[in-house]
C-alpha cells in the first residue's frame, strides 16, 4: 500500500511549526500498533502483505516495545542516582548568587527532587536550585 504525503504545499509553512514539537517525542508504542493494524485492515485482498513484510513489521514493533522498557528503566536509574546525590548535600554549606546579584549562604536542611531538577532548602527556609552557580563546601 503506497501512501503519499499527508500535507500539501500550501500548508507546509503551518505544518512545519507543529511537527517540530511532535518530532522530538516520536511515535509511541500505541500509535505504531494502530498504524500496523490499520495497514493490515486496509491491504488489498487480491495482493495481501508478504509474510516477510509482516514479520519485519512485527520485529519493529517488538524493538519499539523493548526500547520503551529500556527508557523506563533508565528513568528509574536516573531518579535513584539523583536521590543518592541529593542525600550527600544535606548538612553541607552552600553559597549562591541570585539573578539580582544578592549573595546567600547557609546549610542544606533538605532536598526535593522534581521534574525541573533538585531544590535545596536551607536551614533558614531559603530555597535554591541545585545547579550552576551553587558553591558547595564542608559544614
78-95 pLDDT tens trace: 878 877 877 888 888 998
Q: Which residues contact 14 (CB under 8 A, 6 or more apart)?
A: none
| Domain boundaries, given as residue ranges, for the chain | 27-42+50-89, 90-137
Q: Minimal CA–CA distance to 134: which of 85, 96, 101?
A: 96
Tens digit of each residue's pLDDT (9 = 90 or more) over 38-83: 877 887 777 766 777 777 877 887 888 888 889 989 988 887 887 7
Q: Minimal CA–CA distance to 134: which of 115, 119, 116, 113?
A: 119
**Cell representation of residue 68:** 520503551
Query: Is the CATH number of domain 90-137 3.90.1070?
Result: no
The SS3 assignment for 117 reads strand
Tens digit of each residue's pLDDT (9 = 90 or more) over 110-133: 988 887 778 889 999 988 888 887
| Backbone torsions φ then ψ of 111, nearest 5 degrees | -130, 135
Distances (CA, A) of 24 to 8, 40, 48, 57, 62: 22, 27, 34, 22, 21
Contact 101, 109 (CB under 8 A): no
Answering whether pTM is above 0.85, one says no
Identify the residue whose cell numbers are 550552576: 132
pLDDT at 5 over 70: no
Percent of all residues in the chain with a pLDDT value above 90, rounded to a whole number:
8
- Measure CA 58 to chain center: 25
Amino acid at each position: 500500500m503506497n501512501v503519499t504525503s499527508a500535507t500539501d504545499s500550501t500548508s507546509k509553512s503551518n505544518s512545519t511549526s507543529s511537527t517540530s514539537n511532535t518530532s522530538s517525542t516520536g511515535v509511541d508504542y500505541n500509535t505504531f500498533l494502530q498504524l500496523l493494524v490499520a495497514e493490515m485492515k486496509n491491504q488489498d485482498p487480491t495482493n495481501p502483505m508478504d509474510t516477510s513484510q509482516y514479520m519485519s513489521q512485527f520485529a519493529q514493533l517488538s524493538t519499539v516495545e523493548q526500547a520503551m522498557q529500556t527508557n523506563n528503566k533508565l528513568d528509574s536509574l536516573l531518579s535513584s542516582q539523583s536521590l543518592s546525590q541529593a542525600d550527600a548535600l544535606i548538612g553541607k554549606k552552600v553559597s549562591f548568587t541570585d539573578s539580582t546579584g544578592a549573595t546567600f549562604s547557609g546549610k542544606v536542611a533538605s532536598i526535593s527532587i522534581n521534574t525541573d531538577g533538585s531544590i535545596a532548602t536551607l536551614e533558614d527556609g531559603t530555597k535554591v536550585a541545585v545547579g550552576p552557580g551553587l558553591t558547595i563546601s564542608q559544614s
